[in-house]
């Protein structure tokens, strides 16, 4: 499921795959990758393991019929589905990571086919899996509710932050801004045009800020699509290696999302020395704790007031930077990988009839 721009779930899969062979040299790992192979330019994120190309693309109409053939060819003792693409017609030992339940909780924002996929494929196969993992206590409760599972069937293993997310030096931040034609000060925002990301809320106060909002939403023209016409810079794609610079060069990150199974951008920004303002809802409070400013997602006036305060109050900025870096340091991909490996070993050691 790693293809195109690296969203959070793709990063999760790659961060685990790049670490596991070194952490468990007694195990053999194989990656099932898209028919065209992994995207170019992954650099250090490239998994150091053999890669088998799947017969069909991620969530394509032929994926479910062909997954059993893919897995019969690879013959794994355990298959880890790192997203909600679970092999409905393969009955081997399955570990599945379900990151959130937004396709069901926010069904009106998705197609009927996507909600049906969750009900006909994800739910039944999840109930038969040897082990289920999710990324937050919030997601555990949501998945248990919508998939009619006991919450105790799901183990919470938090995402991590890569060590490359560090505060840039002033010279590095200046060079990044000049390279992309950005002003000396800006406020960052990330996400996409989906309604639950709530980026359209920013249009109610963006024009009143003394600095622009720089929006990184995966492709150009998202700001126009959302009606963000004034004081917003719609930044095109950035290489993964520049994400710490994007966060670290910003005066703040605004993350008003109404639904997050985890909220990795908040942690990555904090690790990069960027103060963060998040919506006080779903998994975001669990992730940021007291290290970020938390606001109701729909109170545009309060978001404006708080953003202005953060831009003007250097003492508050310094406190949030320190708290944020301390908070982000608690979440590492190595810890995530080790805890996930422990799940594999538990499944491998269980008799086949008890692995479910």
- Residue 221 has a pLDDT of 60
Beta bridge mates, 354 = none
Structural domain for 264, as ranges: 170-328
152 and 245 fall within a common domain: no
119 and 225 fall within a common domain: no
- Residue 41 has a pLDDT of 81
pLDDT band at 8 (very low <50, low <70, confident <90, very high): confident
146 and 177 fall within a common domain: no
Cβ neighbours of 353 (radius 10 Å) = 6
228 and 146 fall within a common domain: no
Residue 175: CB partners within 8 Å, gap ≥ 6? none
Q: Among 76, 20, 83, which Cα is nearest to 334's?
A: 20
Q: Among 238, 263, 236, 269, which Cα is nearest to 251's?
A: 269
SS3 content of the chain, % helix, strand, coil (to 5): 45, 15, 40
In a domain, 3, yes or no: no
Question: What are the C-alpha distances in Å from 209 to residues 204, 212, 249, 258?
Answer: 11, 7, 17, 22
In a domain, 2, yes or no: no
289 and 337 fall within a common domain: no
- Residue 356 has a pLDDT of 44
pLDDT tens string 204-214: 999 999 999 99
196 and 288 fall within a common domain: yes
Radius of gyration for the chain, computed over Cα atoms and rounded to the nearest angstrom: 21
In a domain, 309, yes or no: yes
Q: What average pLDDT does the structure give for the chain?
A: 92
Work out the end-to-end distance of the chain between its first and last CA atoms, rounded to an integer number of angstroms: 24
Helix intervals (H) in 134-293: 137-147, 170-179, 222-225, 243-248, 264-271, 284-288
16 and 86 fall within a common domain: yes
d(CA 241, CA 312): 30
Least confident among 140-149, 227-236, 248-257, 270-279: 227-236
Number of domains in the chain: 2
Confidence (pTM): 0.92
Residue 43: CB partners within 8 Å, gap ≥ 6? 240, 241
């Amino acid at each position: 499921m790693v293809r195109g721009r690296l969203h959070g779930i793709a990063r999760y899969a790659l961060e685990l795959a790049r670490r596991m062979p070194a952490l468990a040299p007694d195990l053999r790992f194989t990656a099932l990758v898209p028919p065209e192979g992994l995207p170019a330019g992954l650099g250090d994120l490239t998994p150091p393991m053999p890669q088998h190309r799947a017969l069909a693309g991620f969530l394509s109409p032929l994926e479910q019929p062909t997954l059993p053939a893919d897995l019969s060819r690879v013959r794994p003792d355990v298959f880890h589905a790192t997203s909600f693409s679970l092999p409905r017609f393969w009955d081997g030992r399955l570990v599945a990571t379900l990151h959130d339940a937004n396709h069901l909780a926010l069904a009106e924002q998705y197609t009927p086919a996507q909600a049906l996929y969750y009900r006909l494929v994800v739910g039944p196969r999840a109930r038969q899996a040897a082990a289920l993992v999710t990324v937050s206590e919030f997601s555990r409760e949501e998945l248990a509710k919508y998939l009619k599972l006991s919450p105790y069937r799901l183990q919470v293993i938090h995402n991590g932050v890569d060590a490359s997310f560090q505060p840039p030096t002033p010279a590095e931040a200046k060079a990044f801004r000049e390279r992309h034609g950005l002003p000396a000060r800006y406020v960052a925002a990330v996400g996409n045009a989906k309604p639950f990301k709530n980026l359209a809320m920013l249009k109610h106060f963006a024009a009143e800020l003394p600095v622009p909002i720089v929006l990184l939403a995966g492709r150009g023209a998202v700001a126009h699509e959302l009606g963000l016409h004034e004081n917003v810079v719609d930044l095109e794609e950035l290489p993964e290696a520049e994400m710490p610079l994007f966060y670290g060069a910003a005066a703040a990150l605004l993350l008003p999302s109404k639904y997050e199974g985890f909220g990795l951008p908040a942690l990555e920004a904090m690790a990069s020395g960027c103060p963060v303002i998040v919506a006080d809802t779903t998994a975001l409070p669990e992730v940021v704790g007291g290290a970020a400013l938390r606001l109701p997602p729909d109170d545009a006036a309060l978001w404006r007031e708080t953003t202005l305060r953060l831009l003007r109050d250097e003492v508050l900025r310094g406190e949030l930077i320190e708290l944020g870096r301390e908070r982000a340091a608690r979440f590492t991909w190595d810890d995530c990988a080790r805890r996930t490996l422990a799940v594999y070993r538990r499944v491998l050691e269980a008799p086949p009839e008890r692995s479910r």
